[in-house]
Chains A and B, each alone.
Chain A
Amino acid sequence: MADKLVAGKHLRYILNLMAEKKKESFESVVMDHLRMNGAYWGLTTLALLDKLGSVSEDEVVSWVMTCQHESGGFAGNTGHDPHVLYTLSAVQILALFDKLNILDVEKVSNYIAGLQNEDGSFSGDIWGEVDTRFSYIAICCLSILKCLDKINVKKAVDYIVSCKNLDGGFGCSPGAESHAGQIFCCVGALAITGNLHRVDKDLLGWWLCERQDYESGGLNGRPEKLPDVCYSWWVLSSLIMIDRVHWIEKAKLVKFILDSQDMDNGGISDRPSYTVDIFHTYFGVAGLSLLEYPGVKTIDPAYALPVHVINRILFTK
């Protein structure tokens, strides 16, 4: 049982992982195609703990740029294929270091805008898979780059709204089952484009607060599933955006996240007593930020970046 956030241990855990050059663990080998996402999770966690200065900015930024493809999109690692998933993470990482100015904004924004389909949806890459996650990514990324006018925002919003289900939730495409991760993406996209009035906040708020497990305090992503720390982000940020976060028991959720820490080696796992990974470490700390845990900087629930970073972007130029 934990009663505090062991920030120092998490810092060491993240720095060790980022420095792992030889890649000896199976997890790091199998995950190396999404290293860009991993870097975003690690670096944003450091930023939330006010420790971004612990990494070499030049090293990170130059590695990020080696992942850019000639199409303008970014890949998960050097020499791999581009995809919007990694493009957003790359832009977010540069935003953390206040280095968006090194980007050829035209090139990146054209790559993303080029992936919008006739019906307003977005494909993830040239191979055509459509998912509301990609709608969120496009909107979030172009908003950070201040190029939202490059896409048909109305059609994009209408497509997202067409993915709304009877339970108030959203799925990955029209008619798909409601899922907390997809809900975050749809609500986030609607928030950024100023369309939260298209959400039935009471209905969705009810579905979301039902995700809390009475025993452990943790949140799950769908009915009958086990609680998982990553939903501390997706469910919680959605509730905050629709102004219904007072419908869950915050203290219990804090306890669930803290209990999922590895108190010796650092890192956070999906639930107490399981193996840690960088993904859950980020979502755990981000969740604590949303719960206003002392010592953790504030994170923006829609952009998933520290508020001071978003303010810097929105209030310049």
Chain B
Amino acid sequence: MKQGPSSEDDCFSLLKQFEHVLESDPLIDEVGFIHPSQFTMLDKEAGFSNEFQPNNGTSSKFWNQDHKLGISTDILVQLCKDAKHVFLLALQEYKSHGNACDESQIKNISCSPCIPESDVMKHSQSVLLLSSDFGTAWNARKLILSKKDHLSAFTEELRLSGLILSNSPKSESTWSHRRWIIKMISQSFSTLQEIITKESELVESIGERSKMNYRAWYHRCWLVSYMTIEQVIQELNKSKRWAGLHVADSSCFHYRRRLMLKILESLYVKGSSAYDKTEARKIWKEELDWNEELVERYVGREV
């Protein structure tokens, strides 16, 4: 951000504090909005007493321990307004000067890490943590990322969107962004299978906290088209226990249906053997027997 008169600095001091907390703990894996009265309780749970509180004012607005970040609901409105304002300014700056940076990179002229670009990334991160469905911010990141060719940039994006999902598990824009990242990875890198497995585990853990989350389970179904048959069978076995404990979760059973259909699809592919067909039949029979068991055990949940 440009240095301005001190009144301007004061105006964005909240945002600066927020971004400083984010920079000083790059391993934050969970974010939430909490009422300031809960800060003391959280401190107690973390084993801190009042005397050890740093007196810089940050403690009453942001709570950060064990890589968890709590943002006080008292400052949310102002912080969100500031973050949006600063982000949109940075985006404007990037769009008008961004081309100059691209050119110097092409000509191999060394230029310090493009300030406009890093500002857009920094401020879009802030705004999305507070307002996860702000599509323009996700688009700005896509625009910048589509010019990158190192895998780490994309895996870092998966980390950020995972963090945002910890607070907003139903955010459609966030799930959509993840799909875009995975598509980009699949086009340029070969580490897809491991990423797919981790994605699936992420959905299961979110599904535990946010029941029948349509967006999350739709995402998991979408992943199936990128899975190998071995992965599909693994998924079917791994998710069976969870499904048995959540028989009222129709999204979960819809997912199993998707997996089963994928197995059938594979039989229509050239080169599938009689063994494959027998395996498939065995899997289908097992599933039906197990479904029957569940229907008998949990009367009223047949749907």
Contacts and interface: CB of A to CB of B under 8 A. Distances in A.
Most buried by A among B130, B139, B222: B139
A149 interface: no
Given A25-B77, A129-B176, A30 B250 contact: no
Contacts of A222: 212, 214, 250-251
A224 B212 contact: yes
Given A80-B135, A81-B139, A175 B258 contact: yes
A119 B119 CA distance: 39
B131 A30 contact: yes
Nearest to B92: A79
Nearest to A177: B254
Contacts of A127: 139, 142, 176, 180
A237 B231 CA distance: 41
A177 B249 contact: no
A270 B73 CA distance: 23
Contacts, number: 73
Contact size range, B: 20 to 34
Nearest to B248: A224
B80 A29 contact: yes
B170 interface: no
A75 B136 contact: yes
Interface in A173-212: 173, 175-177, 179
B284 interface: no
A79 B139 CA distance: 13
Most buried by A among B84, B130, B133, B218: B218
Contact of B136 (A81, A128, A179, A224): A81
A183 to B, nearest CB: 13
Contacts of B249: 224
Contacts of A90: none
A249 B69 CA distance: 47
A175 B176 CA distance: 17
A224 B180 CA distance: 31
Contacts of B176: 127, 129
Contact of B303 (A79, A125, A224): A224
Contacts of B130: 30
A125 B217 CA distance: 23
B131 A223 contact: no
B131 A179 contact: no
A250 interface: no
Contacts of B301: 224
B77 A24 contact: yes
B81 interface: yes
B80 A26 contact: yes
Contact of B135 (A83, A172, A173, A175): A83
A225 B250 CA distance: 10
B76 interface: yes
Given A125-B135, A175-B221, A224-B249, 10 more contacts: A30-B80, A30-B131, A33-B135, A79-B88, A172-B218, A175-B258, A176-B218, A224-B212, A224-B250, A224-B303
Interface of B: 73, 76-77, 80-81, 84, 88, 130-131, 133-136, 139, 142, 176, 179-180, 183, 212, 214, 217-218, 221-222, 248-251, 254, 258, 261, 301, 303
- Kindly list the 10 A-B residue pairs having the minimum CB-CB distance in the complex, ordered from nearest: A177-B254, A81-B136, A80-B136, A223-B303, A33-B134, A129-B176, A224-B248, A29-B80, A30-B131, A81-B139
18 contacts: A23-B77, A26-B76, A30-B80, A30-B130, A33-B131, A33-B135, A34-B133, A81-B135, A81-B139, A127-B139, A127-B180, A128-B180, A128-B183, A175-B261, A177-B251, A179-B214, A223-B250, A224-B250
